[in-house]
Amino acid sequence: MKKKPIPSFLIFWAVILVLALWPLVTAHPQWVCRVFTMAFLYATVAMAWNLTALSGLISLGHAAYFGLGAYGAALMDHYGSGNPAVTLTTAALAAGVYGAVCAAVFRNLRGATFALVSLAAVEIPKVIADNWESVTYGSLGFVGIRPLPLVHMGRVTVDFGGDLTAQYYALLVVLLAGTWVHFKAIHSRWGWALRSIREDEQAAGVLGVPVYPVRWSVMTLSALLTGLCGGLYAHLHGFVEPPVVFSTHLSAMPLVLSILGGRFRWFGPALGALVLYPLDQLVLHPVLPAGHAAVYGLVIVASVLFFPKGLGLRKK
């Protein structure tokens, strides 16, 4: 009798369970906790990126949304209210509005043309953030963004700003929420609409799928989520500067993580992020302090060469 293979989503739940429990059980160095916190953040960005990719468009410019989110939160924190509910909403809105405009303007572009345009679209917010010195402090960036606040839950006080373990659990919740959205983008009526658009736009239109609205909504949602992550990044790190939050590296990372984990499974991008990011930070970073990120480029090259299905770039 053939042995039944373990369903691969069980691996995902096992990983999540282990990650949720180990800080409680064993003593742990804080920086490992920190690395996993960032892994959760980038996993969410990867899933947000994959929302666009699931509709058949490869974006090379999600750094634009991430950076706008980070700057939105930083500006709100500096000039307005420091309440994270307000700053994070601003972050998501800033990125979401830009994403909505991009989605509307680029609605007729596909394939390589869209990828090029998305790459160029990063430059606009980047150059503005870099040069509007009276507001954004130019290339110096913002320093001293307030960390996440203390939260009182009954008698227990949780310090999301200083306690890395608390941040770890907060980001784990964000990751799970992102995974839920990503799950819905694959296993729901809306997800099937996306799939039909990806496979054949004309046929989808004939079947009654509203092609433009569905694509616009998914791209806007993707930008919103990425912006939210950018805002969280600003609060977690406490500083933002244009070359960091608008870097090519941030555009490439979600692509790499999603391809590695498998783009067409609801837990794929998250699993890819939870494997590759800690590997990069915990194993490669100590060995190669400068240049360790080359591993992301290597993964892109290898996956296009050997697993073109993972990219899902089929000829129509």
Q: Where along the sequence are the contacts to another protein (CB under 8 A)?
A: 58, 60, 105-106, 108-109, 111-113, 115-117, 119-124, 127-128, 130-131, 243, 247-249, 252, 255, 288, 290-294, 296-301, 304-305, 308, 311, 313-315
Q: Measured in whole angstroms, how far is the alpha carbon of residue 44 from the centre of its chain?
A: 4
- Min separation Cβ 134 and another protein, Å: 13
Q: What is the DSSP letter of 238?
A: S
- Min separation Cβ 126 and another protein, Å: 8
66 vs 160 by CB, closer to another protein:
66
- Min separation Cβ 254 and another protein, Å: 13
7 vs 291 by CB, closer to another protein:
291
- Min separation Cβ 179 and another protein, Å: 25
- Min separation Cβ 17 and another protein, Å: 33
Instruction: Specify the pairing of strand 142-143 against strand 156-159.
Output: unpaired
Burial of 127-162, coded b for 16+ CB within 10 Å and e otherwise, reads: eebbeeeeebbeeebbeebbbbeeeeeeeeebebbe
Q: Which of 217, 84, 236 is nearest to 245 (CA)?
A: 236
16 vs 102 by CB, closer to another protein:
102
Query: CA-CA distance, 181 to 171, in Å (whole number)?
Result: 15
26 vs 134 by CB, closer to another protein:
134
Query: CA-CA distance, 314 to 245, in Å (whole number)?
Result: 32
Beta-ladder partners of 151: 158
Apex 180 CA angle, 21 and 90, nearest 5 = 100
59 vs 89 by CB, closer to another protein:
59
Q: What is the DSSP letter of 284?
A: I
253 vs 270 by CB, closer to another protein:
253
- Min separation Cβ 232 and another protein, Å: 24
Do 226 and 69 meet the contact criterion of CB atoms below 8 Å apart?
yes
Which residue's entry shows tokens 């992102």?
178
135 vs 304 by CB, closer to another protein:
304
- Min separation Cβ 120 and another protein, Å: 4
- Alpha carbon dihedral 263, 265, 270, 273, in 10-degree steps, equals -40
